[in-house]
Structure 1
Amino acid sequence: MSELNTGWTEHTVVRDGVRLVARDHGGTGRPVLFLHGLAGYGGEWDATVAGMRDRHRVVTLDQRGHGASERRPLDGDMSRSAYVADVIEVITALRLEEVALVGQSLGGNTAMLVAAARPDLVRALVMVEAGAGGVDPREVDRVGAWLTGWPVPFASLDAAAEFFGGGPAGAGWAAGLERRGGGWWPRFEAGLMVRSLAGLVRPSFWPEWRRVACPALVVLGQSGIISLDEQREMALARPDTVMVTVPRAGHDVHLDAPEALRAVLAGFLDRER
């Protein structure tokens, strides 16, 4: 564990030889653990979690293969079960029992699987632009081609932000890069990201979604990727699920509209305190 001059404390948790790094923003109240999406890192949540420490203990995690955590696990395991076991280990090691899990995209799927597997640990679930349906294999190929097509190294963070589409989301993606060798590089290996996404290729995760016992919130971007059919099926499977659409936001709701997302989270999590 190390104290940094950025308002958060860094914790390292090791599970089966894989180093996992979490940022503990502190705060009073019941814990909330944030999980980023594919090719992301925990710092993506900084703008969203700002101001939440007066009501919650806030922790963000760099998941395996991402950010400051183990870049290449020795066993190469990027399976859904490995991600889930990592999160359970972090919850236990950092004493985050009765945690609210907030996950975006891939992180939302992980959060759902943890809530389904360990209802004793999870008091509330928030899935941001994540659904219970599986991923089409063609999407794995598309995302893989996009990741391997990045013109790295980027000459500057501004150039990277422009490549990622500009605006808050572009800047957020650029902020996840690291500087080395005179340029800016991703903090992941594209091949392992493809392997992670391939873990979502299955007919669906509907059985796990139905097993979630805690209160659940699904946050959607107005121009996000979760289809209306999938949204309706999720609501039918768990009628008590709260579903909120954030205007003027895409798949990266937490980057496009962090203040709006924070307000939605506050309204939901404060009820579960």
Structure 2
Amino acid sequence: MACCGVGARLQKRKRRPLSAGQAEDIGTPSRCRMQEVLVRQKIALQKNEFKAGRETLIFIHGLAGSSSAWSDHVNGFSSQFNLVLLDLRGHGKSHRYPAFSDYLPSHFSEDIDAVFSDLSISDATLVSHSFGCLVALEYAATRPDRIKKVVFISPRFGAPNRVLLFASWAASVPVKFIGKLLSGSSIPRRLDYKDFPRNTDFNPKRMCGDIANTGLRTYLHCIRHALRLDHERKASLVGCPVLLVHGDADRVFPFAHALHAQKVMPHARLVRVPKANHVVVLTHIDLLHDEIERFVSASV
């Protein structure tokens, strides 16, 4: 499919942090209420009121983030779709697992399996960003029976990088000795991204806040697994409809990653966002809503 160029405007909406066990009003003035759910006693998520006959969208955030990254997207979709905003293991309000092996891609897939089972979801569309794209890719490749469509926003696609893999391994060595000191917030929580209005790719305040909350241990474990994953092989197994959205000013994963992903998945539709950086989920709310809604609503 041809690459589409799209413009968008920046939106900023007020959010507030969520306490465990509470339902929260988030998003625009219509204020869709989101309910807290704990899956397998370990994995946290937010959901709206499910209604029969609606499509289900499962949102998967990026590395060191949480489901609060999607807060400004909720109200745009809540009247049409059943929504699940997942906190990946080790992130947000989910449990901080200690070991490197706890963050194998297969374990993330098991968590998503539990979401499907506990919420009685038969099939869904995955909407993923950055590191979350790798989680969505793994699940779509291994459980095609449950996935109708997949949205990859600012993805990294490519063969394992040995140099970066070694560097991440070297950086993770101290974790074995001081892991408890690097385990993140003692009370799992979600950051409020309105506290970080400078939505640049490498905003030091936002990055430090994310990593301090998630924990350097989890952060490094996830990076190592991400660098080990053979994205090309996994992507070749994804046969469902795919939407790629990528900013052409992304300095974390340059736009070339999206072009490469489209070569591996020639059936994918690619939307190029001019002058957009890596955190388009925070800066291009309307654009993503329109593209995702159009994609999900289109007949296969």
TM-score (norm 2): 0.72
Query: Where does residue 93 of structure 1 map in the other structure?
Result: 118
Structure with the larger RCO, 1 or 2 (CA within 8 Å, 6+ apart): 2
Q: Secondary structure at the match of 1:267?
A: helix
Residues 64 and 73 in structure 1, CA contact (< 8 A), matched pair in contact too = no
Q: Structure 1, residues 184-235: CA drift from partner, whole Å, max 9, x if none? A: x832111221111100223732121111121111110121244455433322
Q: Secondary structure at the match of 1:120?
A: coil
Residues 125 and 150 in structure 2, CA contact (< 8 A), matched pair in contact too = yes
Residues 129 and 152 in structure 2, CA contact (< 8 A), matched pair in contact too = yes
Give the drift of 1:101.
0.4
Among 16, 22, 25, the residue aligned to 2:45: 22
Q: Structure 1, residues 163-199: CA drift from partner, whole Å, max 9, x if none? A: xxx248769948x76xxxxxxx832111221111100
Give the drift of 1:267.
1.2
Q: Structure 1, residues 27-84: CA drift from partner, whole Å, max 9, x if none? A: 5411000000100000110112322012110110111111100023578611222112
Query: Where does residue 270 of structure 1 map in the other structure?
Result: 297
Among 219, 223, 226, the residue aligned to 1:200: 226
Counterpart amino acid of 1:256?
Answer: T
2:85 corresponds to 1:60: yes
TM-score (norm 1): 0.79
Aligned partners of 2:259 and 2:152: how far apart in 1?
Answer: 15
Report how many residues are paired.
251
Q: Pairwise mapping of residues 215-230 of structure 1 onto structure 2 (< 5 A)?
A: 215-224=241-250, 225-227=252-254, 229-230=256-257
Residues 21 and 61 in structure 1, CA contact (< 8 A), matched pair in contact too = yes
Query: What percentage of residue pairs aligned between the two structures are identical?
Result: 22
Give the drift of 1:271.
1.1
Residues 141 and 237 in structure 2, CA contact (< 8 A), matched pair in contact too = yes
Residues 44 and 172 in structure 1, CA contact (< 8 A), matched pair in contact too = no
Q: Secondary structure at the match of 1:86?
A: helix
Counterpart amino acid of 2:228?
Answer: R
Counterpart amino acid of 1:104?
Answer: H
Note the aligned Cα RMSD (angstroms). 3.4
Q: Secondary structure at the match of 2:91?
A: coil
Query: Where does residue 8 of structure 1 map in the other structure?
Result: 34
Among 261, 265, 275, the residue aligned to 1:248: 275
Residues 221 and 251 in structure 1, CA contact (< 8 A), matched pair in contact too = yes
> Which stretches in structure 2 are left out of the alignment for 5+ residues?
1-19, 26-32, 176-183, 186-191
